[in-house]
A = this chain, B = another copy of it.
Amino acid sequence: MKHIIVTGCAGFIGSSLVDRLLSIGHRVTGVDNLSTGQYRFLGNALTNPNFKFFHLDLLDLAGLKSAFKLGEVVFHFAANADVRFGTDYPGRDLEQNTIATYNVLEAMRVNNIKKIVFSSTGSVYGEAKVIPTPENAGFPIQTSLYGASKAAGEGLIAAYCEGFGFQSWIFRFVSILGERYTHGHVFDFYRQLKLDSNKLTVLGNGRQRKSYLYVQDCIDAILIAMEKSEDKVNIFNLGVDAYCEVVDSVRWICENLCVQPKLEYTGGERGWVGDNPFIYLDTQRIRSLGWRPQHTIQEGIIKTVQFLKANEWVLESRD
């Protein structure tokens, strides 16, 4: 039994992780500012005496230092995860991802916590030249404020490993899907179809190729990597060995919802400024540890749609 701190504990992945960690017997302290996280996702955790919740913003360094007391490992999963709106609020990724990560590291340092797990992103590769993209791809040129802020977070963590004897596990995710999913294309499509099932607007030309991973497969991979990799800085891509086009995803969603909307494309190779038209990560490194995803992209998308159907309140939870 370890005492684990989870930032972003009320978020999509964070809350799923909290439930998993509690279920395997760990003590968990969760931190969330509830800006995009949902208190309802902690329903199960809050009934568990091994769970403690701090309603706290990561920009509050003093609060963080206090909340981290007696922790042994930090899973830093809090983030602004909206890649798409980076240019509308250029400071948000810097604050919520880069500066917040620095604060997490400082709160760890004063509490003598030296192990950190970080949710990074395949977006750190920018528009990769090698696809599927391995962890040691060429020095990337960032194409989004989100990717830049996560790459900056990775850099800070690695520097703390070198400078202060920390150890880190950094995971570069493709898009994650599944229960408690509250943003991204499946969410957008579902919300559009709920308002008008005869029409669906698709950003870009629909031919963008993306890879997705089911949240429980993602958590399996994280726990296996932590158990089996012992370097100072351990970096893993997480994804499935496949990708789909946005139009495939549209088809699966519409079939599952039994709707046949007229599709309208905004056009262009990219869904938005900084969108990466082809994300597909090489996952040999994590596979070499014995991990295999148990769900296909299509299964992940269907599970997400089913969650949204059963929890339509989340549609209202985001502006």
Interface residues on A, range: 35 or more
Copies of this protein in the assembly total 2
Say how far A173's CB is from chain B's closest CB, in angstroms.
16
A218 within 8 A of B: no
A43 within 8 A of B: no
A156 within 8 A of B: yes
Contact with B along A113-143 (1 / 0, CB 8 A): 0000000000001100000000111111111
Residues on the B chain within 8 Å of A99, using CB: 94, 99
Do the beta carbons of A162 and B102 come within 8 Å of each other? no
Do the beta carbons of B141 and A139 come within 8 Å of each other? no
Given the interface pairs A152-B155, A155-B151, A159-B274, the reply to whether A139 lies near B135 with Cβ below 8 Å is yes
A158 within 8 A of B: yes
DSSP majority for the A interface?
Answer: helix
Say how far A71's CB is from chain B's closest CB, in angstroms.
19
Do the beta carbons of B136 and A139 come within 8 Å of each other? yes
Contact of A94 among B125, B142, B156, B274 (CB under 8 A): B156
Do the beta carbons of A273 and B142 come within 8 Å of each other? no
Do the beta carbons of B148 and A274 come within 8 Å of each other? no
A86 within 8 A of B: yes
Taking CB atoms and an 8 Å cut-off, the chain A residues in 156-199 that contact chain B are: 156, 158-160, 162-164
Given the interface pairs A136-B138, A141-B233, A163-B144, the reply to whether A158 lies near B90 with Cβ below 8 Å is no
A98 within 8 A of B: yes
Say how far A222's CB is from chain B's closest CB, in angstroms.
19
Do the beta carbons of A148 and B141 come within 8 Å of each other? no
A109 within 8 A of B: yes
A106 within 8 A of B: yes
Residues on the B chain within 8 Å of A138, using CB: 136-139
Do the beta carbons of A163 and B98 come within 8 Å of each other? no
Say how far A94's CB is from chain B's closest CB, in angstroms.
5
Complex formed: what's the CA distance from A105 to B86 in Å?
14
A91 within 8 A of B: yes
A14 within 8 A of B: no
- Chain B residue at smallest Cβ distance from A170: B141
Do the beta carbons of B145 and A163 come within 8 Å of each other? yes
Residues on the B chain within 8 Å of A260, using CB: none
Residues on the B chain within 8 Å of A233, using CB: 141
Complex formed: what's the CA distance from A145 to B129 in Å?
28
Which residues of A approach B to under 8 Å, CB–CB? 86-87, 90-91, 94, 98-99, 102, 105-106, 109, 125-126, 135-145, 147-149, 151-152, 154-156, 158-160, 162-164, 233, 235, 273-274
Q: What are 17 A-B interface contacts by the 8 Å CB criterion? A: A86-B163, A90-B105, A90-B106, A91-B106, A94-B99, A94-B156, A99-B99, A137-B138, A138-B138, A138-B139, A143-B159, A144-B162, A145-B156, A147-B155, A151-B151, A151-B152, A163-B273
* 7 cross-chain pairs, A with B, having the tightest CB-CB distances, nearest first: A152-B152, A148-B155, A142-B155, A148-B159, A87-B163, A142-B158, A143-B162
